[in-house]
Structure 1
Amino acid sequence: MWKDEVKAARKAAGLTQAKMNQIMKVPMRTIQSWEAGDRIPPEYVQILVLEKLEQIKNE
């Protein structure tokens, strides 16, 4: 489920929601909505976000 994946990936990358906002330029409210399960982005956005978080984790 997207909300669980994005939250786990963000935490694995060592980011707070605020830091993810700063680095990825995703609005805070959007990140909060994703993690609450209120909004689900298109699949291509999900892939790009998870790839970027994985890249940050591995840096």
Structure 2
Amino acid sequence: MTSPDRILRCKDVMALTGLSRSTLYAMMSEGKFPPSVKLSKRAVGWRAAVVQAWLDAR
């Protein structure tokens, strides 16, 4: 399990969930996956605790 305050990048989230990049973003736009956190102008990430909670709820 990951640390709750860790930020996961897209590749980490894809490996953890088994979802593709396009599926992640499609699910985000439908409200079925937690939104990303903007890290910089061109980088986003997801809070590990939120992704883990989403996985546990599935």
User: Which TM-score band (shorter chain)?
Assistant: 0.3 to 0.5
> Normalized per residue, which structure has more helix?
1
Larger-Rg structure: 2
> Normalized per residue, which structure has more strand?
2
> What TM-score results when the alignment is normalised by the length of structure 2?
0.41
